[in-house]
Structure 1
Amino acid sequence: MTEEVQLSQLYRISPAWQDFYAGGLGGVAGILTGQPLDTIRIRIQQRNSQPGTIWSYCRATVQREGLTSLFKGAAYPVTTIAVQSAVVFQTYGLSCRYLANRSGTPADQPVSLSKVYLAGMVAGTVQTAIITPVDLLKIRMQVQHAVPGSSNYVGSLKQLRNVLAMEGVTGLYRGLGVTLIRDIPSHGVYFGIYEWTREYLEPGSRMRGSENPWALFAAGGLAGVLSWFSVYPLDVIKSRLQADPRSESPYRGWIHCAKESYREEGGVVFWRGLTATLSRAFIVNAALFAVYEYSLNMMRRA
């Protein structure tokens, strides 16, 4: 074995860490493209929100609070998304390889879609520990109507201090139960739809890697849309539950939140903000998977 080959093997990134790094880069790309629509969807989902379209909410928000208001709460996901997304993709990759080995799947065959679904559910379970406090802090930032930079505006660090002072560390995990119920099945759908769609659009890409960026874009966007749609009512409940401190919230828990929301507004309440959410989901996940696969291919060829 030549010295060059020995060195290339020494510095080669393992598959698990390839998933980690590529997932982190993909997550950052997703957040940067989708934050304004995320702010709009959170506001539409809340109690006492007025009827309106994405554009009417966007226009009113910018006129009242300035353009930067669309990025309220972005600091939390931006500073954590690399780790969160990296953990999701690393867990997914490890789970797929484990299930493939357990079932004796040949090395030249892709893992079955049923195992992809199971691996996605494992990834959704693991990432909940990260996403729950991040989502809670982000939502608290997004629902305030103070202009960023004004004296009564609560910034990122102050928001965190307020939650810890009023509710303790456990306050950061308000909504953990409904987040788990949302994220476990939705991540199975997410990865399953993605793998099926990319293979349909570009046969053989699950084994050799994708060479068609449009196939990745479409597969990632469709996966994001269908995974969100499959659990959307749970997201509305979660957003409402996390918007207020426990002492000020009208809801005792997520089941009480669901019952009260239905009693006050009917079944339509569980689909509030769906258009904004699905629009954002396509953009974010198309960017995420495109960057993820590109990064993965680059590391595999190194």
Structure 2
Amino acid sequence: MSYDSSLAQSFGSFAAGAFAGVCGVLVSQPFDIIKVRMQNTSGGSLSVLSYLIKNEGFLALWKGSGACLFGICISNSISFGVVENCKKFLSHGRDKPLTLLEHALCGFCSGACTSLISAPAEGVRIKIQTQGFLDYHGDIHYKNTIKVSLALLKLHGICGLYRGFVTTFLRDTIGDTFFYSTYQAVPKYLLGTGDINTEKDIFAIIISGGFAGVAFWTITYPIDLLKSRIQSDSIINPRYKGTVDCFVQTLNEEGWKTFTRGYLPCMLRAFPVNIALFVGFELAMKFVGRDY
């Protein structure tokens, strides 16, 4: 294989990841806004959905999609691109296929990189999704994601945009470790289709992608709830000092069951969204090609 084709594959995996992100956002956004609002209130999924449509309109299900689409495309581009290039690096000069532990390591590296993008992108999106639903004294309503971003920068500097970074980093590194290793493990251990590195057919992609999403969110959901609360906190008068303070206040005031609030819509979202992600990615990679 020539150097040019190798370079094309390296960059092509990032483009394939961006395409996968678009597919995922189109499916995920209605589920995500319900999850975020449930994490910050006591309402059930149907009551939150009913309130949203009745008071804000059907298109409100895609509120915050601007920041989400931009952020998810970039973060998925980085996520899939880092994983594919880590796999290529670890495969170089060896005949043996990658182990499940090595796939998990690739996922960890992916999460570490994507958290740098997902923290500010998700923070801005969550602010848009919860304003008007969570009314904080002194906060104003912002028309779009740009105005929210500027307000955060003006009041708190770059740290304002990266509020909740610790929880985002923990969620993404732990989550992606299980996400990508589960995707590789399902065909062998659940479907019995051979080695974990065997190229997957469409059925295997669908099942593996769905279970990968379930694994990600089941492992990281309590962390994501803390992240959501920190990032939806008041811009003017924040309630939480940080991750530990948010955890302590939530546990003391609402109990441990609060950490599962919104889990059901999250699971309903996880399967179809991650099917869309992996189907989109694998289809795009058909054009890019792999030699590892």
- The question of a shared fold, defined as TM-score above 0.5 by the shorter chain, is answered with yes
Call closer, same or farther: CA 1:11–1:124 in 2, change over 3 Å.
closer
* Deviation at residue 281 of structure 1 after TM alignment: 1.4
Identity %: 30
Name the CA distance, whole Å, in 2 between partners of 1:11 and 1:105: 20
State the TM-score, normalizing by the size of structure 1: 0.87
Instruction: Return 5+ residue gaps in structure 1 as ranges.
Output: none
Of 30, 40, 53, which residue of structure 1 is paired with 2:24? 30
Q: Which residue of 1 aligns with 2:220?
A: 231
The answer for the alignment partner of 1:258 in structure 2 is 247
Gaps of 5+ in 2: 134-139
Q: Residues 81-120 of structure 1 correspond to what in structure 2 (within 5 A)? A: 81-101=72-92, 105-106=94-95, 109-120=96-107
Change (3 A) 1:11 1:118: closer
Aligned twin of 1:275: 264
1:231-250 equivalences in 2 (<5 Å): 231-245=220-234, 247-250=236-239
Alignment partners' CA distance in 1, 2:167 and 2:83: 21
Deviation at 1:80, TM superposition (A): 2.8
Rounded Cα–Cα distance in structure 2 between residues aligned with 1:251 and 1:137: 17
RMSD between aligned residues: 2.3
Structure 1 residue 12 displacement after superposition? 7.2
Task: Identify the match of residue 45 of structure 1 among 35, 39, 46.
Answer: 39
Q: Distance in 2 between matches of 1:28 and 1:205?
A: 30
**2:24 corresponds to which letter in structure 1?**
G
1-side partners of 2:258 and 2:246: how far apart?
Answer: 11
Whole-Å separation in 1 of the counterparts to 2:27 and 2:205: 16
CA distance in structure 2 between the aligned counterparts of 1:160 and 1:93, rounded to whole angstroms: 32
Q: How do 1:48-67 residues align onto structure 2 when only pairs under 5 Å count? A: 49-52=41-44, 54-67=45-58
In the TM superposition, what are the counterparts of 1:35-184 in structure 2 within 5 Å?
A: 35-46=29-40, 49-52=41-44, 54-101=45-92, 105-106=94-95, 109-145=96-132, 154-184=143-173
1:153 deviates by 5.4
Q: CA offsets, 1:47-97, max 9 Å, x none?
A: xx1331x22211111001111211111100212322211111111112222
2:206 to 200, 217, 221: 217
State the AA in 2 paired with 1:134. A
1:195 maps onto 2:188 in alignment: no
Counting matched residue pairs gives 283
The one-character-per-residue Cα deviations of 1:200-259 (angstroms, maximum 9, x if unpaired) are 53735855633x322211111110111111011111001001112454121110111000
Aligned partners of 1:208 and 1:251: how far apart in 2? 47
- Counterpart residue number, 2:137: none
**Cα separation, 1, equivalents of 2:71 and 2:142:** 22
- TM-score normalised over the length of structure 2: 0.89
